[in-house]
Amino acid sequence: MTDKSDTKSHTEAYEARLKKRYRAERRFRAYGMAAIMTAGLILVFLLSSIVYSSLPAFSHHHTRLDIQVSTDYVSADAPEQGNYLGLVRAALRDQFPEVSGRRDKRALYKILSIGASDELQKRVIAEPDLIGTRLSLDVPLSDDIDLMLKGLIDRTLPESDRIVSDRDLVWADKLLAENRISRKFAFALFTNGDSREPEMAGIRGALVGSLWTLLVTLIVSFPLGVLAAIYLEEVAPKNRATALIEVNINNLAAVPSIVYGLLGLAVFINFFHLPRSAPLVGGFVLALMTLPRIIIPTRAAFASIPPSIREAALGVGASRTQVIMHHVLPLAMPGILTGTIIGLAQAAGETAPLLMIGMMAFIVDVPGDVTAKATVLPAQIYMWANNPERAFVARTSAGIVVLLTLLLVVNAAAIYFRRRFEKRW
């Protein structure tokens, strides 16, 4: 037995060390939690600010007009050629009989969206029986009136500082007082292509363009990337040539994406004369960019399969191809899919390489195939952000929400497929 004082001093030093160690561990934990919480807070702030500023874009104010579908404007023989805007304007004039004079009338028409007659046109063409009758219809108001009604324009400002004139306010108030104004879900945001008018501008063209582009990217880069990775990792001899290829692939992953755009412009458009602004070329360019991002994680997935599995298969007389196809590839599949999806998600958010091949363009039509002119979501968001109309602010955020949703769906798909492949074992 050691004597008492000795034991005590030993205990004190020991306790001090113990306390110090516990403190260090608590500190380490605290740093980690602080880092996570900071990141989480930034993310929450970012997402909530985007979602909050996008909310106005998801609804739009309409006014109910009583429209006399008179044969003066539309003939029953050819309803397609009718002057529907005239019909709507006539109904609006009826609403405000006190407005007279050409200039005043023209100012009055401006409280309606230029797409105000679209709904009417669709309905009358579908049901020609409506010609000659009177119907009540909600037509969209202009973007400025809509913003004012949403409270995004300060009515108390002097008229010169406001985009809505005093007269507009009077007319809008009259419609409000007659209970003719309603707020509806903005279907146009999801059904229309791009437009110069914010209330008519939709994300559909860019969304479909993005999907076409990603489809081409996937079809090109997935098989090429996986086969290249299999060859390099499993088949190729380890020599200087393969080492050089490996270094180059790693370097390609770090090449600025705009360089791929220049390459695409030079090769696909100027040399092969493929169409400009087309998802086909965009997909090729993004596939080039995505290839190293698929090859590298795929090789890592292959390298992480324990050699004992290969030996076991070789030991019972499996050929090299059988070892790869029956054992290594299925085991590496979750890793390959994760790499591919992350690569695709990056491609989906990429704008720079597409600038060079003309996909940053004002395109109204929804692209029907991979050679049609198209733009992509991030390019659309950037173009909307550049537009001067106030209503595009919310549209821009709404575009970001759609892009983020697309990425979420892609990532969820990745998780789903990974789970499915893992379950098999």
**CB 331 → other proteins: shortest distance, Å?**
7
Contact between 241 and other proteins per CB under 8 A: no
Which residue's CB is nearer to other proteins, number 97 or number 307?
Answer: 307
**CB 232 → other proteins: shortest distance, Å?**
14
Contact between 103 and other proteins per CB under 8 A: no
Which residue's CB is nearer to other proteins, number 48 or number 321?
Answer: 321
Contact between 404 and other proteins per CB under 8 A: no
Contact between 245 and other proteins per CB under 8 A: no
Number of residues that bind other proteins (CB under 8 A): 20
Q: How is residue 31 written in tokens?
A: 């740093």
Which residue's CB is nearer to other proteins, number 97 or number 306?
Answer: 306
**CB 242 → other proteins: shortest distance, Å?**
11
Site for other proteins in 167-206 (CB under 8 A): none
Applying CB under 8 A, the span of 25-33, 95-103, 142-150, 315-323 interacting with other proteins comes to: 315-323
Contact between 243 and other proteins per CB under 8 A: no
**CB 266 → other proteins: shortest distance, Å?**
39
Contact between 313 and other proteins per CB under 8 A: yes
Contact between 64 and other proteins per CB under 8 A: no
Could you say which of 310, 371, 410, 421 contacts other proteins (CB under 8 A)? 310
Which residue's CB is nearer to other proteins, number 167 or number 326?
Answer: 326
Contact between 150 and other proteins per CB under 8 A: no
Which residue's CB is nearer to other proteins, number 156 or number 239?
Answer: 239
Per-residue mark of binding to other proteins, 318-337 (x: CB under 8 A): xx--x---xx---x------
Q: Which residue has the tokens 């190729």?
A: 236
- Residues engaged in binding other proteins (CB under 8 A): 237-238, 306, 308-319, 322, 326-327, 331, 425
